[in-house]
Structures are given as C-alpha cells and as structure tokens.
Structure 1
Amino acid sequence: MTGSAPRSDLGTHVVQNQPPPRGDRDLWSEDRPLREIAARIGAHGTALASYGRSLGTAEMGDAARDANRHPPELRLFDSGGRRLDEVRFHPAYHRFMQTSAEAGYAAIPWEGGAGGHATHAGMVYLASQVEPGHCCPLTMTYAAAPVIAAADTLPAPWYDRLLARRYDSATAPVAAKQAVTLGMAMTEKQGGSDVRANTTIAEADGADWRLTGHKWFCSAPMSDGFLTLAQMPAGLSCFLVPRWLEGERNAIRILRLKDKLGNRANASAEIEYDRTLAHLVGAPGEGIRTILQMVHHTRLDTCIAPVGLMRAALGEAHHWVEHRSAFQRRLIDQPLMRQVLADLALDWEGSLALSMHVAGAFDGDTERDRAFARIGVALAKFLANKLCLLVVGEAMEVLGGMGYIEDTPLPLLYREAPLNGIWEGSGNVICLDILRSLAREPRTAEALGAELDAGARLNPAYDSALAEHRARWPAIPPEAEARFFAEQSALLLSASILLRHAPEPVSDAFVRTRLGAPRGRVAGALTGLDTEAILSRLAPPPA
C-alpha cells in the first residue's frame, strides 16, 4: 500500500543496523555555512531557500537517478531516412531543467537586482548536490548572456529568450519559443585547449556566415544555439550558430554522442558544420577575446559545483555514520571516524567560503572587484576541484561496500568529481592563466594581496604562513612551480576568508592543518581537531 513502511522482518533475517532513507530534505535549512555566507555577501536567501526545498525531496532524488540511469539517446534519422540530428532525453532530465530554469538559475544574475551572481552560485552549489548533469546547458546560458547582450547585430529575440525564466524544449526557431538555452562548440581534435589551432572556416553569405568544419566536443547539443569559433580572413572569430532556422534545420550534423565517465544525464557530442548558417558575434578576428567573457562566467560555476559535490558526499557519509554501528559503538562516536570526517569537512568549508566569496566579487562594481574576480575564480577552481576528488572518494569509503553501489548517490558523485577540473581549463591551464594574469594585470596582484592582507593579525600561524609565501615567491614564480604557487595562494585565500567570517574552531583548525604544523597526505592524518565544533556544521539541524 502506498505510504506503508518497507518490511524489515524478512523471515530469514531481520534488517537492522541500516540507516533509514533520508526522505524529503531541505538543502538550504540544513546547510548553516551556506546560509551564513549568503547573508554576508547579499545572495537572495528567499530564492535559495525555495530552490533548496524543491531539489531536496525524495521524489527529485529518484528523478536524478532516473535521469542518469536512462542517458540521452541519439536520433539521427526518422523512419523515412530523413535527417533529424536530435537527442532525446528522459522526462526526469526535462523536469530538472524546468525546475532550475524557473528558479532563475541562468537569469537571476542579469535581472538587475543586487546579489545575482552570488545567488546563481548558490543555485549551482545546490543543484550539483542532486543532479549535476542538467547544470551544463543552464551554466552556458548564464555565461553567454553578456556575450549576446553585446552583440547588437543579432536577431532581437535572443537575449530576451535567454533571460526568460522558462524551459522550452520545442524544436523551433528562437522567435517561436518562450525561452532558449545556449551551448558551446569550440574544441577541435588538433588543438584541444589551444583554440588558435582551430581549422573550421567561416565564409561570408550576405550579412551572415557559413561555417564548415568539425568540433570534437559540443556541450549540450540540443541547445537552441551555440557559441563557436571559426577562422575568417580577419582571424579567429566568434559566432552564434542557431540550432533551428525558419522552416528548416540548420546544417549541424551530430556524428556521435560522447560515452562519458559521468555527467550522464547531459549529452555531449561530436559534430560537423557543413556550410552551417552562423551570426558573427563580436569584432572580426576577436574571437578569443569575445569568448573569454563566457569562459570567465563558466569558471565561476566550475569552482562552486565541486563544492556541491563535496557537500552531497559528506552529507551521505554523515548520515551513514550517525545510524550505523560497528564493534558495539556508533560510527559517529568513534574517534578515528570523527577525525576523518572533520578533516574532510574543513576542505568543504574552505572551498565553500572561497568560491562564494569569489561569487560576491562578480556582483561588485569596482575595478578591484573585477580584478579579484578574475584571479579568485581561477584559484578557487583549481583548489576546489583537486580537493573534490579526495573528499568524494573518502566519503565513499566511509560507507564501505554500499558506497560503491548505485543504490546510493556516491557513484554518481564520484563519476562527476573530475569533470569541473577538466572543463574550462584543466589544472595546468588554470595555473598558467594565474601566472599570466598576475604578470599582465597589476590590479589583479593588488586585489589578491589585499584579500590576503585582510586576514592578517587574526591568527599568528596565518601570519607566518603568509610571510613565508611571500618570501618564497617575491615575484611571479617560474612555470614549473605554478601548481605549488596556486595551491598555496588558494589555501591562504581560503584561510583569510575563514578567519574573517567562520567560527574560530573552524578557522583555527583550517589554518593549523593546512598552513601550519606538519601532517600526513591522507584525510584524517592529523591531530588536535575540535571535531564536535566542525561536525556540528555538517549535521542537519535538529528536527
């Protein structure tokens, strides 16, 4: 009967010592650090609270599982052999797209209110805890908005439809739709991150252009348009390629869907352009400069999404140890387990504080805000994604064999953990970008220095670590040291933010274990944590 409890007495044995289902949850109210940060940086708590409640239901958890167990399917032709080049999704995917679009995931930063980017970042963090695959097209839609806004020669509906808080999956041109999403198709086989090596050609066709070439990765191939790069006489330029035209399909040929490790609910494809209609966006020959506006904003999402994955994994681990016993003691009461979880929780808290602080800078209107956003987002992306793999892997191990089973969310989270470290610049690319930014833009170095100085005189160990950092690198470090420099800079920046805003047991523990005394390389290989204070911020509030 609907609503009745599952049977525990199975005849051959009684089910016991198993955690109960987590049921409906409120992702906002159970996340004290997020609520504290949102209030401080001006994010819209009401919007985040509503979104967190809608995502946290058991029903949406089931939908997330369905969307990942039934991945997108490629439909190249109809029954008569006519070309479709379409991707079909499970209804659960469309449900997530609708929920997030209507919440303002892509639109809210551009609607004119204060705290829009911080609110968007909070939504990325919450969505990544439940079903991260659908975030991809919405993130690109969010990030493309300033590029499209500056392209005054595009057909009128594009920008308005981008900002519509709706989801419209119809196969129709932009003028016939209530809302649109945008994807991206830049990477080619021979170039990878080096997009200057792209060989796709753009040829003039009246006021528009025709593209011919191959794209090795096309993210979200059922989007209504794609920002892409192609060579024209003036050099590499940026174009908007509409998916659908009036009365016909644009010549975008899907060759295959990528068989990915994770992000399974979302489709990624290999495509060809065959004299495909495109609109020029930005000045001729300025393609990289134009597309970097989009990349800057997608990087914000790639630094906060892994923090959401960490939060989800730690939530599952904490629920498990609170309701599971071994050797006559609850796991949560065992000192070694508490040490491991508290250590992991510090990685999550530091990453959350850093990423959301950077999101607040995206809302700023001063040159210092903009300079800090440029360097901060790169540092946060690098560190959060390196930590995400470790945190999710350790959380999986906390559950033992069950953590490896698809009945729990851990396998989904584990498959997703490497993605954001690869997307929009892998680790080495990001570290080299950090060095270039500091070398070329004096305001960037000044903004970073000011943020680091803001944590001074609040903790002696921090002051010592900052002095050592500056003595080691009085100038831009050599390329071979870029990762070491980026990691230390990001840890110091996280510590500075925590010292200013987090409870003392959290900030002091972070400084001591990340910047001060020697410790081991694995989670829990350290001493002296106030596990009660740290783990209390991970636990949901009492019922």
Structure 2
Amino acid sequence: MSIRAPMSHLPTHEVENQPAAMGDINLYAIDVALQEAVQRENATWAEPEMTGFGAVMGRAESRDLARQADKHSPEIRPFDPYGRRINEVEFHPAYHDLMGIAMKGRVHNFAWAHDGKDGAHAAQMVLAYLFNQTEGGVSCPMAMTYAVYPALTAQADIFASLKDALLSDEYDRRSIPWSEKTGMTMGMFMTEKQGGSDVRANSTKATPVGAETGPGKAYLLNGHKWFCSAPMSDAFLTLAYTENGLTCFFLPRWKPDGSRNNLFIQRLKDKVGNRSNASSEMEFIDTYAVMVGPEGRGVPTIIEMVQHTRLFCIMGSAALMRTGLVQALYHANNRRVFQKRLIDQPLMRTLLADMALESEAASQLMMRVAGAFDRAEKSPLEQGYKRIGTAIGKYWVCKRTPNFVYEAMECHGGSGYVEENILGRMYRESPVNSIWEGSGNVMCLDVLRAMGREPESVEALVAELKEASGANPHYDAAFKEVRDSLATGAVSESRARWFTEQMAKLLQANILIRHAPNEVSDTFAATRLGPHGGLAYGTLPDGAPVDFILERAAGSLFTS
C-alpha cells in the first residue's frame, strides 16, 4: 500500500504522531478471509476481476470521489428554465464518476453476465462488497438493477427488449428513453405512506388503456410512492391495484412515443446518510406502465427482486464493517499513545481482534447466502437456505453494523468524530440497510413466515448446522437450544428476535468451524454462543489468540 506524504508544514508546529493519509490499497488483496470464501463458493475463476476492482476501489482517488458525492447531495430540478415540467434530479460530477466505475466493474450485472456459471452470484457480491467499502449511495441503483432480472423474467417480451441494455457495462447519464441509450439502470417503487412494509395497504390504482387487459398490456397509474430511490433510473418496477388485486408493473421514465412519463417528483428526502443517492417522494398522475406477470400476483412477482436486494443489504453492511476495521487497523498501526503504538496496546489489540471476528463472520455469512443463490435452482436444500438465510442474514448483519462502525470511530478518538474522516460518512450510512427492504421486526416475521409456509427452509438450516456438530461445545449447546425450541412447535412471534439472532450466530459459527482456522472459529463460538463474550466489543477471554486474528484481518495492509 502507498502512503501519501504530508502536503505542507505549519508555521507553529510539525504534525507529529498522526497517521499519514492512507494511500492506494487493494481491498481484495488484503482480505484473506474473503479470498478463502471465494474459493469455497467456487468463484476463483473471477479473481482477475476481483483483484483489479479491489485496486480501483482502494485508490485514494475513489475515496475522494465518495467524499465529494456525499458532501454535494443531489438536487431536484422539477422544471427547466422555461417552465416546462421535467422532473429530474441533478447530481455532482463525482456521483456520475462513481456510477461509471460501478457499471464498468459490473457491480450491477456480473452474475447475469455469467448466468449459470458456478459462483456467479458469489462473485457479484465480492465486487459489490469491494465497491461498498468506499461508497454506499451508488449501490442503491446497482442493487435494484441487479435484482430486477428475476421479476422481469415473468414477462418474457419486456425482458427480451431490455436484456441487452441491462447487460451493458456502459454508464449513460443522458436523460433520454432507455431504448436510445448504451446502458440502463432500473429501480423499484413499492412503499407508500400508509403501509410501509405492508404493501397490501397500498392505494395506487391502475386503469387499463383501451379494452385489452392483462400481462404485457398498458395501464395508467394514479397514486403516490413514499420512498422512490434512484429516481433517475431509466425504468422501475412498481405495485398498483387493478380490479383483480395488487399487481406488478414496468414503468419507464419515458413513454413509447418519446415523451416524458408522468413521474412527478414532490421532493427529495433529507436522509441521515446515503446522501449521494437521491430518494424521492413521487406522484403518479396517469403514469404509463405495462403489467408484468399475472394480474393480482404483484407480491409474488416482485418478491424475488426483494430477495436479491436483501442480499445486497447484507453485503452493504458487511462492507461497512470491513471499512471500519481497515480504518481502525491503519490508525492504530500509525498512532502512538503512552509510549506505544495503539496496535501494541493490549486493550486495543483485544478490541480490534473482537471486531475482526465480527467482520469476518459477517462477510462469510454474506458469501454463504450468495452461494445459495448460485445453487438454489439445482438443490432444494440450497433453495431453502436461500429463502430463510437471506432474512436471517439481513436481520443480524445489518443490525450489528451501526455499533461496529461506532467502535471503529472511537478507535480514532476525536479525529474519528469529524466529517473529514471517512468514518463519519460510514456511521451515517450504517443504519440504512437494516431499515430498507424490511426493518428488523419485518425480517424476523419473515423468518417465522418461512418456517411456517416453507418447512424445507428449516430442514435446510438444520441439515447445514448438523455439519459442524461435535466440533465445539458452545456451538453444540446453542444448537441444542434452538432445536429444542423447534421441537416444541412454532416459535412465538414475541421470541422471533431471539430465535433469528441465535440462528444467525449459529450459521456464522458453522461456516467458521468448517472453513476458518480454529483460532477464529473457537474464539467466535466462545464469545458469541458461549459465556465468554460481553455486550460490547473488546471483551475476549484471557488467552484468546489475538495476534493470530489481527494478522489474519490485516493481511498485507501493513507490509509496505
């Protein structure tokens, strides 16, 4: 890794005992655990792309683009200078640069560009994970463009017309019909004020254009949407009610005749974080759309898209953890306190090692769930794992992230609590993945729903968890407790958070026991499933292999 030298001297003093600005690093090359997961999930064939993209996203220049895009939030442009309604959003040039980097790196479509190849979705998540360690806002249109494929396949004629544009790696920022562009992105508008995650409470209505109705036919939509992120995407999937129930629709920004569609942006949300990404409130007034999938089956049609965006949420939170850890390791390695480097202070070493365990467990679960997406069509057990594992992973990894990033910020002291530091942006970003695409309680209820309606999902988890039985007493005890709760019947709704949390920690421990060094898996099991961990990070037991864990987490970060 390169380190940038100080730019100037101050007239009253030299800047001492402060780390130099982090230079260029390769985010993939320094991540040993991620490389092992790539091998496990049969994605090593994509390592040239991962290594190259890790270098791109680890550049100081990329981090600065992310800083600029966050600082200069998008602005609404409802009218042109002559009073015509255009309903557009204007972005800082850094945002467009990042969109170009993301699409050239195929953060939005790598799996579909290699559809059917073992490890394609796992490789997709690695590329997205590397991108999200630098910037999260651009990830929103990337996630939705990636996730739209399964839903669009429910309407073969529409999918066939869009496929080439969706598979392009060209970012075309022009506000023109998608059919005239070199590449396109897509979004999803579901949420309304009165319903939130309860989309069946939506009130948007769809009226057919002409006498013909049904899939592939044109409708006019009237209603509102409460959270419409990435509104400058070229097209969207949305839900609206016909006479026969809640239905999915394809909604382009431009009508087939080349005129602007009736997408009336009311305002942009002033969000806590994710500020480079525009999130809007939208009114539909006779807005042109085409039905996708069976009428009245909107939720089943779009639900697979939701599954894929939830996988992106797991990935995004795991990436924030990894960023926080790398930043904390770098700072501690280059800052001296009480005559020692921070990295040599026993209490700091314990804290960083504990955080390293959490970060590795998060990324490993992300990769295991992504692997299930690769294998689901060929294996009922993998289909079951994908169904319930996505909900469990989204709940737990996303829930753990804000406190993790805060700990990384605290490792820096006061310098971490200023906006010039990357961790301020990461901290503001950290709650978003837990809230979007189903908040914590919604995910726990989804776990219960999967258990009740799709018992094969529980079968898949139990079969997987059995694979590590007998290797660790803390794991075995926690597994028994969960199995006993299942044996007594349905888990009650009031216990859904407990059950989901236990399952998440068991799934993480299972992966580590089977695939990580014993120093990692035994310490994780003892502190997450056994009695040897605390409520805060940094409470590892005496004798924990701190040195090994830190060396593994840092990789080649300090060897330069």
TM superposition score normalised by structure 1 = 0.97
Q: Confirm whether residue 307 of structure 1 aligns to residue 321 of structure 2.
A: no
Partner of 2:177: 173
1:90-109 to structure 2, matched below 5 A, reads 90-109=92-111
Letter in 1 for 2:523: A
Residue 503 of structure 1, aligned match among 501, 509, 517:
517
Contact 1:8–1:16 (8 Å) recurs in 2: no
Matched residue SS, 2:172:
coil
Residue 410 of structure 1, aligned match among 423, 434, 456:
423
Distance change >3 Å, CA 295–CA 155, structure 1 → 2: closer
Partner of 1:333: 344
Partner of 1:516: 530
Matched residue SS, 2:553:
coil
Partner of 1:476: 490
Contact 1:295–1:424 (8 Å) recurs in 2: yes
Partner of 2:458: 445
Displacement of 1:254 in angstroms is 0.3
Displacement of 1:29 in angstroms is 0.4
Letter in 2 for 1:271: M
Q: Confirm whether residue 530 of structure 1 aligns to residue 530 of structure 2.
A: no
1:86-485 to structure 2, matched below 5 A, reads 86-111=88-113, 112=115, 113-154=117-158, 156-206=160-210, 207-245=217-255, 246-364=257-375, 365-474=378-487, 475-485=489-499
Q: Residues of 1 paired with 2:457 and 2:415: CA distance?
A: 46
Partner of 2:81: 79
Displacement of 1:140 in angstroms is 0.2
Identity of aligned residues (%): 48
Q: Residues of 1 paired with 2:108 and 2:429: CA distance?
A: 21
Letter in 1 for 2:551: S
Q: Residues of 2 paired with 1:146 and 1:167: CA distance?
A: 22
Partner of 1:6: 6
Matched residue SS, 2:138:
helix
Distance change >3 Å, CA 67–CA 331, structure 1 → 2: same
Distance change >3 Å, CA 168–CA 481, structure 1 → 2: same
Q: Residues of 1 paired with 2:438 and 2:132: CA distance?
A: 19
Q: Residues of 2 paired with 1:327 and 1:189: CA distance?
A: 54
Q: Residues of 1 paired with 2:5 and 2:198: CA distance?
A: 56
Distance change >3 Å, CA 57–CA 292, structure 1 → 2: same
Displacement of 1:13 in angstroms is 1.1
Displacement of 1:169 in angstroms is 1.5
Contact 1:148–1:159 (8 Å) recurs in 2: no
Displacement of 1:155 in angstroms is 7.4
Letter in 1 for 2:251: V
Letter in 2 for 1:70: H
State the Cα deviation string for residues 81-106 of structure 1 (Å, max 9, x = none). Answer: 11110001111111111111122212
Give the RMSD, CA atoms, in angstroms: 1.4
Q: Residues of 2 paired with 1:196 and 1:11: CA distance?
A: 65
Q: Residues of 1 paired with 2:92 and 2:100: CA distance?
A: 13
Contact 1:72–1:87 (8 Å) recurs in 2: yes
Matched residue SS, 1:238:
strand
Displacement of 1:520 in angstroms is 2.4
Distance change >3 Å, CA 78–CA 7, structure 1 → 2: closer
Letter in 1 for 2:554: A
Partner of 1:24: 24
Which 5+ residue runs of structure 2 have no aligned equivalent?
A: 211-216
Distance change >3 Å, CA 313–CA 525, structure 1 → 2: same
Letter in 2 for 1:76: P
Q: Residues of 2 paired with 1:233 and 1:356: CA distance?
A: 42
Matched residue SS, 2:424:
helix
Q: Residues of 1 paired with 2:470 and 2:193: CA distance?
A: 51
Matched residue SS, 1:270:
strand
Letter in 2 for 1:179: G
Q: Residues of 2 paired with 1:153 and 1:199: CA distance?
A: 28
Distance change >3 Å, CA 270–CA 4, structure 1 → 2: closer
Contact 1:148–1:158 (8 Å) recurs in 2: no
State the Cα deviation string for residues 46-100 of structure 1 (Å, max 9, x = none). Answer: 2111111111111111111111111111111111111110001111111111111
Displacement of 1:472 in angstroms is 3.8
Letter in 1 for 2:168: A
Distance change >3 Å, CA 4–CA 310, structure 1 → 2: closer
Displacement of 1:176 in angstroms is 0.8
Distance change >3 Å, CA 516–CA 156, structure 1 → 2: closer
Moved more, 315-324 or 163-172: 163-172
Q: Residues of 2 paired with 1:155 and 1:210: CA distance?
A: 20
Partner of 1:54: 56
TM superposition score normalised by structure 2 = 0.94
Letter in 2 for 1:233: E
Q: Residues of 2 paired with 1:472 and 1:287: CA distance?
A: 34
Q: Residues of 2 paired with 1:283 and 1:247: CA distance?
A: 27
Displacement of 1:11 in angstroms is 3.0
Contact 2:444–2:500 (8 Å) recurs in 1: yes
Displacement of 1:519 in angstroms is 3.4
Which 5+ residue runs of structure 1 have no aligned equivalent?
A: none
Displacement of 1:355 in angstroms is 1.2
Contact 2:366–2:393 (8 Å) recurs in 1: yes
Matched residue SS, 2:529:
helix
